Structure 1
Amino acid sequence: MTSTQRPLKIALIAGEHSGDILGADLIRALKLAQPNAEFYGIGGDRMRAEGFKTVFDMEELAVMGIVEVLGRLPRLLKVRRDILAHFTAHKPDLFIGIDAPDFNLPVELKLKQAGIKTVHYVSPSVWAWRQKRIFKIAAATNMVLALLPFEKAFYDVHQVPCTFVGHTLADQMPLQPDKTAAKVALGFSAEAPLLALMPGSRTNEIKLLAPEFLQAAAQLQQQNPGLQLVCNMVTPVKAELFTQIWRQVAPDLKLTLLIGQARQTLTAADAVLIASGTATLEAMLAKTPMVVAYKTNWLTYQIASRLVKVDFFSLPNLLAKKALVPEFLQDEVTVSALVNAMQPLLAQSGTETQAAFTDIHQHIRCDASAQAAKAVLELLHD
């Protein structure tokens, strides 16, 4: 690909931490082919570090759950109106919405109607619930970039343009991680087992899952006094929230709290209690046996549970198409359930599960950012 005479203008919107990572990697890959390209819209620190110009703080969009979104709706709608006005005034050659489908798809639809090519990077969970959204996606986008192979299969059935690019995490993480070195690097004993707690990155997730995670960890530590415990939080603010809950529900628990070291934590851990989401994929790629849990607002769950069409909700199980890891949803998330599921993981090596993790890792390791950049530029020059 050769550079165009004037700088290529690419607008992007990333709605949260994981989108910021994907956006930064994609921008880096696009700049290899288009060194003078300009990137602007809504993104986080990683995207800004690649020269991205952000119009709004990404945290404005970092909200999840039907009921939770309602409370922020007026602000979200204003941000969407304002960013569309900005794109009208500074017209991009192409727009890429990274995840955040409820925010990005309406933006994509407006821009596509205005003659701007649009890409949605990270498929919404349309294969799992609200499947009729596939028609909205088809109307709003020229191309969907899917991270996982079962997603492209769904789009192919409905004849909606989709490219499977693989997952950037699979590219970044080694097939055979050195868990002993990772433990030592974080200051833990290489000999004693290490259990990680990862109750999510969103405030609501932490509030709903941290109490059970902490109480389960306390019971496991009582059963095994040598058990080392670590928790990673994405920001100091989230760490403070977690600490408040820790003091309330398990003040005697011996635990090391880290900030911004999720991958190191997951690589070092012998097992992890983890919230459902992208972090479960990272845990799988770190070859760390896990127990997955998820809880949301009661009303959000009541609505969503009537629309979900899949047998599993955790990514390792969806990718394996079987119950590879224990998963607990909503009322199933109890201290006793978590303890009972975790005990065998701490007592055995988990080599069979880890072998399955490695097989999946190889399948989704495709140099995703380069593949995504290639698909974007091909669409642009179509």
Structure 2
Amino acid sequence: MRVGIVAGEMSGDYLGAGLMRELRARFPDIRFEGIGGPRMEAEGLTSLYPLEALSVMGLVEVLRHLPRLLGIRRDLARRFRERPPDLFIGVDAPDFNLRLEERLRAAGVPTVHYVSPTVWAWRRGRIHQIRRAVDRMLCIFPFEDAFYREQDVPATFVGHPLADEIAMVPNRSAARESLGLAEDATVVAVLPGSRMSEVKYLGPVFLETVAWLHRHRPDVRYVVPCATERIRAHMRSLVEAHTDGIPVTLVQERSRECLAAATVALLASGTASLEAMLHKRPMVVAYRVSFITGWLARRLVRVPHIAMPNLIAGRRMVAEFAQEAAVPGNLGPATLDLLDNPERRAALEAEFGELHGRLRQNASAQAAAAVADLLERHTEARMPEGTA
């Protein structure tokens, strides 16, 4: 059996490798060909291009590299149409993979897309392309498959791999020991983002919020994970400017340890809010971008919440503040309310545990089962009538 598979960035490489591993357990003779990173290559992928060839972020950067990206997609479409695989799997990267899936499906190749585009939030017109391109959508959030059923797109909720990876009961004591924090300390984890663009908008606001909190709770300690050395240097200058003398510890990476160690988290919306939820950490969530981007988002994005726990639960569980509302005068009191309210924290931790359980579905195995089901259905459809 031969499977085409394409991931567009490191997160896709992680997801693709888990799926490949489970598929190999079901089909020992399976072969994989396409584009992926080191994890997928370790699972046996023959990568036709380096993963970095597709890992382009930002509108300007994509436009600059567009001829090369289109050339890669044309080459993959040609290869897979000349020698059709038994199945093609696009892992995330919808702007690249959906068009490729559409071409291959039209040529008779069954297609799977792993990780739903946020079509339920914005650019809903893409659903027409998805309907043409995808035989099966694999969804990582429980509210997504219902959306696709309404749109007449076959979809399967498989759960989120992070929910499988992160322990149901985080080890706070071990995390605090590794970070040099006292067992009985009150700790706020501050996560302004993993990209410099996020940090430039939220870093000053978050540290001004730390200064606000220090005036009300001078006993609190703060730990700030920094995704890169550049971000750490930038945050160091902000700490000196806004929180001189306040116990703020900057660490390189280690965001999960910081969340596990925390009493409460103050963080940017996105994956960090999902990880905080999985670590059962009460949180306050903020979102800030440029005025123009924010103006466009208000008109294009159709979701009632920005925090992932609120989206998953379908209601406002945690405090969230966007754009001009993301200021110390709002973030500080919301964080202080959690610090001063152990009953509220305990209730949130219990609710986060329930949500973790909903996402903890052994995602890679569930995804492989959905792929195997599609392969079986496709094989049966191609069998001459009367054969078994």
Paired with 2:53 and 2:335, the residues of 1 have a C-alpha distance of: 33
Deviation at 1:362, TM superposition (A): 1.6
> Are residue 285 (structure 1) and residue 278 (structure 2) matched?
yes
Deviations along 1:85-111, one digit per CA (max 9) or x if unpaired, are: 145336544332222323332232233
Name the residue aligned to 1:11: 5
Give the equivalent residue in structure 2 for 1:332.
Answer: 325
Q: Distance in 2 between matches of 1:184 and 1:149?
A: 35
Shift in Å at residue 326 of structure 1?
Answer: 0.5
Q: 1:84 to 1:222 in 2, by over 3 A?
A: farther
Provide the rounded CA distance (Å) in 2 between the counterparts of 1:218 and 1:81. Answer: 51
Contact kept in structure 1, 2:164 and 2:362, CA below 8 Å: yes
Amino acid at match of 1:145: L
**Any idea what the Cα deviations from partners look like across 1:78-133, whole Å, max 9, x if unmatched?**
22422441453365443322223233322322333343332221112222223232
Given candidates 353, 361, 376, the residue that maps to 2:371 is: 376
Structure 1 CA distance, aligned partners of 2:39 and 2:50?
Answer: 15
Structure 1 residues 291 and 77 mapped into 2: Cα distance closer, same or farther (>3 Å)? farther
RMSD: 2.5
Give deviations 1:236-279, integer Å, cap 9, x for gaps.
44434444554555455533333342222222211111111122
3-state DSSP of counterpart to 1:148:
coil
CA distance in 2, matches of 1:28, 1:303: 41
Give secondary structure in 2 for the equivalent of 1:116: coil
Higher mean C-alpha displacement, 86-95 vs 307-316: 86-95
Match of 2:251 in 1: 258
Partner in structure 2 of residue 230 of structure 1: 223
Counterpart selection for 2:358 from 343, 349, 363: 363
- Aligned residue in 1 for 2:265: 272
Separation in structure 1 between the aligned mates of residue 240 and residue 341 of structure 2, nearest angstrom: 31
* Superposition deviation, residue 284 in structure 1: 0.6
Q: Tell me, yes or no, if the aligned pair for 1:41 and 1:83 is still in contact at 8 Å.
A: no
Question: Quick one: distance in 1 between partners of 2:132 and 2:240?
Answer: 50
Write the letter of the residue equivalent to 1:303. Answer: L
Alpha-carbon separation, structure 2, partners of 1:367 and 1:209? 34
Match for residue 71 of structure 2 among 55, 68, 81: 81
Give a deviation string over 1:28-58, Cα, whole Å, max 9, x none: 2223223454445444444444444552344
The 3-state SS of whatever aligns with 1:230 is strand
Pair 1:9–1:156, CA change in 2 (3 A): closer
Quickly say closer, same or farther: Cα 1:156–1:252, change in 2 above 3 A. Answer: same
Q: Which moves more between the two structures, 248-257 or 339-348?
A: 248-257
Alignment correspondent of 2:381: none
2: CA distance, partners of 1:239 / 1:380 = 47
Q: Work out the CA distance in 1 between the residues paired with 2:130 and 2:90.
A: 12
Give the secondary-structure state (helix, strand or coil) at the position aligned to 2:304. Answer: coil
Deviation of 1:230 after TM superposition, in Å, equals 1.5
1:112 and 2:105 matched: yes
Does residue 24 of structure 1 match 2:14? no
TM-score under structure 1 length normalisation? 0.87
What SS does structure 1 have at the residue aligned with 2:371? Answer: helix
CA contact (8 A) 2:265 2:283 kept: yes
Query: Which deviations, in whole Å up to 9, do the C-alpha atoms of 1:312-369 show, x marking residues without a partner?
Result: 1211011222110001112211122111111111223201111111111122221111
Q: Secondary structure at the match of 1:145?
A: strand
Letter in 2 for 1:372: A
The answer to whether structure 1 residue 351 and structure 2 residue 341 are counterparts is: no
Partner residue of 1:121? 114
Structure 1 or 2, whichever has the larger Rg, is 2
Residue 194 (structure 2) pairs with residue 201 (structure 1): yes
CA pair 377-267 structure 1, distance change in 2 beyond 3 A: same
Corresponding residue SS for 2:143: helix
1:322 is aligned to 2:315 = yes
Which residue of structure 2 lines up, in the alignment, with residue 298 of structure 1?
A: 291
Equivalenced residue count is 371
Give the residue type in structure 2 aligned to 1:377: A
User: Residues 200, 337 of structure 1: CA spacing in aligned structure 2 closer, same or farther, 3 A cutoff?
Assistant: same
Structure 2 alignment gaps of length 5 or more? 379-388
Query: Separation in 2 of the partners of 1:122 and 1:315?
Result: 15
Task: Measure how far apart 1:146 and its partner are.
Answer: 0.6
Give secondary structure in 1 for the equivalent of 2:14.
helix
Q: Distance in 2 between matches of 1:239 and 1:56?
A: 29
* TM-score, structure 2 normalization: 0.86
8 Å contact from structure 2 (residues 6, 91) kept in 1:
yes
Match of 1:152 in 2: 145
Distance 1:20 1:266, change over 3 A: farther
Asked if the contact 1:12/1:39 (under 8 Å) is kept, the reply is: no
Secondary structure of the structure 1 residue equivalent to 2:183: coil
Structure 2 Cα separation of the partners of residues 167 and 120 of structure 1:
15
